[in-house]
Amino acid sequence: MRWRLDLSYDGTGFHGWAAQPGLRTVEAELELALSRVLRSVEAPRLTCAGRTDTGVHARGQVAHVDLPAGVLDALGPDSDADQLARRLSRALPDDIRLGGLRPAPDGFDARFSALRRRYVYRLCDAPAGPDPLARRHVVHHRRALDVPAMTAAGRGLLGEHDFAAFCRKREGATSVRTLLELSSARVADVVETTVVADAFCRSMVRALLGGLVAVGEGRHDAQWLTGVLEGRRRQPQVTVMPARGLTLEEVVYPDTAGLAVRASQSRRRRGEGLPEMSTPAPER
Can you give the pLDDT at residue 234?
84
Q: Is residue 278 part of a domain?
A: no
Contacts 24+ apart (CB under 8 A), 84-92: 84/37, 87/37, 88/33, 88/34, 88/37, 91/33, 91/34, 91/36, 91/37, 92/29, 92/30, 92/33
Same domain, 166 and 260: no
- Counting the structural domains of the chain, the total is 2
Can you give the pLDDT at residue 277?
33
Q: Is residue 280 part of a domain?
A: no
**229 HSE (CA, 13 A, CB side):** 24
- Is residue 52 within 8 A of residue 203, CB to CB? The reply is no
Same domain, 159 and 243: yes
Can you give the pLDDT at residue 237?
80
Same domain, 90 and 32: yes
pLDDT > 70? residue 276: no
Average of per-residue pLDDT across 104-108: 95
Predicted confidence (pLDDT) per residue in 10-65, tens digit: 999 999 999 999 999 999 999 999 999 988 767 789 999 999 999 999 999 999 99
pTM of the model: 0.91
Same domain, 128 and 237: yes
Same domain, 26 and 122: no
Same domain, 135 and 237: yes
Same domain, 263 and 139: no
Predicted confidence (pLDDT) per residue in 189-199, tens digit: 999 999 999 99
pLDDT > 70? residue 281: no
pLDDT > 70? residue 158: yes
Q: Is residue 274 part of a domain?
A: no
Q: Is residue 94 part of a domain?
A: yes
Same domain, 120 and 209: yes
The whole-angstrom separation of Cα 201 and Cα 199 is: 7
The residue among 129 and 77 whose pLDDT is bigger is: 129
CATH of residue 59: 3.30.70.580
Q: Is residue 228 part of a domain?
A: yes
Q: Residue 204 burial (CB < 10 Å; 0-12/13-18/19+)?
A: buried
Q: Is residue 279 part of a domain?
A: no
Q: What is the mean pLDDT of the chain?
A: 90
Domain extent at residue 208: 116-250
Q: Is residue 281 part of a domain?
A: no
pLDDT > 70? residue 182: yes
Q: Do the bridges between strand 190-197 and strand 176-187 make them parallel or antiparallel, or are there none, so unpaired?
A: antiparallel
- Is residue 166 within 8 A of residue 238, CB to CB? The reply is yes
Same domain, 79 and 159: no
pLDDT > 70? residue 278: no
Can you give the pLDDT at residue 279?
36
Q: Show Cβ contacts of residue 21 under 8 Å, excluding neighbours closer than 6 positions.
A: none
Can you give the pLDDT at residue 41?
62
- Angle made by CA atoms 8, 13, 19, in degrees to the nearest 5: 75
The residue among 28 and 275 whose pLDDT is bigger is: 28
What residues form DSSP beta bridges with 187? 190
Q: Is residue 263 part of a domain?
A: yes
CATH of residue 123: 3.30.70.660
Same domain, 200 and 161: yes
Can you give the pLDDT at residue 73?
75
pLDDT > 50? residue 185: yes
- Is residue 191 within 8 A of residue 134, CB to CB? The reply is no
Same domain, 231 and 124: yes
Share of the chain above pLDDT 90, in %: 74
pLDDT > 80? residue 171: no
Q: Residue 69 burial (CB < 10 Å; 0-12/13-18/19+)?
A: exposed
The whole-angstrom separation of Cα 282 and Cα 279 is: 9
The whole-angstrom separation of Cα 241 and Cα 238 is: 9
Same domain, 48 and 100: yes
Which residues are known catalytic residues?
Answer: 53
